[in-house]
């Protein structure tokens, strides 16, 4: 059987990337330097997956507009999925099956001293809750992978992400490439050391992927989103199935996880449109 591995590659969890300006193309040289650091960690994960027996590695861009990956610097054996909007967002590429997911990202919004901690949006969104419990991108993506019966094998980012991942998946492998000191500062490992750790952990995780199981998705799901601006909640309530339950909070329900997350994509993009329209 073909052992196919998906890498969901977000930007903010990389060693050396610590502030918001490094994450946006308009920052020029700062972004280009950060982009190089990101590519280095992606390639380390690809190399480790191949070392662990992967027959195919697919890198799915998972940052912002999802079109920042440099194809000429990507590992020659990795294909990639780029661009926005995608059916399965940060875990696009699982529709045809995979042995596992390697997640490269950050802690959820509101995490104390989580470096660049947020959930999908840094300014526009305060918190997401699933069935009453706060949840971040890692947990939401792990469930989206579970929708495709695929386990998450490895989480790469700061120490706060590692703890978040281990709460949901106690046996998951993690790589801590930096220690969060605040939302916009971190103590980072040397670049070479971080990459070697990622490669070794990816190898180990892929070797053991047959032992890993996907999360169990609850049979019924309720998602709540707290936005920064009440106007965002007002606009989202125009979407059928979305209810405004507070000044800045919306709620929606589904027994289909993909549908639930796609409603979330619509709502977060509407919140961004509100910001862009008024600021």
List the beta bridge partners of residue 175: 156
* CA 173 to each of CA 3, 48, 162, 269, 279: distance values in angstroms, whole numbers, following the listed order: 18, 13, 9, 32, 41
pLDDT of residue 209: 95
Count other C-beta atoms under 10 Å from residue 268's C-beta.
20
Please give the pLDDT value at position 2: 84
pLDDT digits 0-9 by tens, 70-126: 999 999 999 999 999 999 999 999 998 999 999 999 999 999 999 999 999 999 999
Query: What are the DSSP calls for the chain, one per residue?
Result: ---EEEEEE-STTSTT--SGGGGSGGGTHHHHHHHHHHHHHHHHHHHHHHHTT-SEEEEEE-STTS----GGGS-TTEEEE--S--TTGGGTT-TT--SEEEEE--PPTT-TT-TT--BSBSSSEEEEEETTEE--HHHHHHHHHHHTT--EEEEEEEHHHHHHHHHH-TT-EEEEEEEEEETTEEEEPPHHHHHHHHHHHHHHHHHTGGG--PPPPPSSEEEEEEESSHHHHHHHTTSTT-EE-SSSEEEEEES-HHHHHHHHHHHHHHHHHHHHHH-
Location of structure tokens 């695929």: 150
Q: Is the pLDDT of residue 155 over 80?
A: yes
**Under 8 Å CB-to-CB from 163, ≥6 apart: which residues?**
none
Q: Are 37 and 12 a contacting pair, CB within 8 Å?
A: no
Mean pLDDT computed over 30-51: 98
Instruction: Render pLDDT for 252-279 as a digit per residue (tens, 0 to 9).
Output: 999 999 999 999 999 999 999 999 999 9
Architecture of 221-278 per CATH?
Answer: 2-Layer Sandwich (3.30)
Burial class (CB in 10 A: 0-12, 13-18, 19+), 20: middle
Q: What is the DSSP code string of 53-120?
A: T-SEEEEEE-STTS----GGGS-TTEEEE--S--TTGGGTT-TT--SEEEEE--PPTT-TT-TT--BS
Q: Say how far apart CA 220 and CA 52 lie, in whole Å.
A: 36
pLDDT (tens digit, 9 = 90+) per residue, 28-39? 999 999 999 999
d(CA 279, CA 275): 6
pLDDT reading at 50 higher than 90: yes
Of 52, 237, 208, 221, the closest CA to residue 144 belongs to 221
Question: Measured between alpha carbons, how far is 19 from 135 in angstroms, rounded to an integer?
Answer: 22
Domain chopping of the chain, boundaries: 4-116+137-211, 221-278
How many CB atoms sit inside 10 A of residue 67's CB?
A: 11
Class of domain 4-116+137-211: alpha beta
pLDDT one-digit tens code per residue, 188-236: 999 999 999 999 999 999 999 999 999 999 999 999 999 999 999 999 9
pTM across the whole model: 0.97
């Amino acid at each position: 059987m073909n052992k196919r591995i998906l890498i969901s590659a977000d930007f903010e969890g990389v060693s050396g990337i610590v502030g918001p300006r490094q994450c946006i193309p308009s920052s020029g040289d700062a972004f280009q330097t950060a982009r190089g650091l990101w590519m280095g960690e992606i390639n380390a994960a690809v190399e480790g997956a191949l070392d662990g027996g992967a027959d195919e590695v697919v890198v799915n861009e998972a940052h912002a507009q999802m079109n920042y990956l440099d194809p000429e610097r990507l590992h020659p054996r990795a294909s990639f999925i780029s661009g926005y909007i995608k059916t399965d967002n940060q875990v696009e590429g699982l529709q045809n099956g995979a042995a596992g997911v390697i997640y490269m990202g950050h802690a959820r919004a509101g995490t104390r001293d989580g470096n660049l901690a947020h959930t999908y949006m840094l300014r526009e969104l305060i918190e997401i809750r699933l069935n009453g419990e706060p949840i971040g991108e890692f947990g939401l993506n792990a469930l989206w992978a579970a929708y495709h019966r695929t386990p998450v094998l490895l989480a790469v980012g700061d120490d706060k992400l590692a703890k978040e991942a281990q709460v949901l998946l106690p046996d998951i492998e993690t790589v801590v490439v930096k220690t969060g000191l605040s939302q916009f500062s971190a103590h980072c490992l040397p670049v070479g050391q971080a990459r070697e750790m990622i490669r070794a952990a990816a190898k180990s995780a892929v070797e053991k992927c047959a032992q890993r199981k996907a999360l169990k998705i609850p049979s019924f799901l309720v998602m709540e989103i707290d936005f920064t601006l009440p106007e965002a909640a007002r606009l989202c309530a125009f979407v059928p199935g979305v209810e405004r339950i507070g000044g800045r909070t919306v709620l929606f329900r589904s027994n289909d996880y993909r549908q639930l997350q796609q409603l979330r994509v619509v709502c977060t993009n509407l919140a961004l449109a509100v910001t862009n329209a008024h600021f």
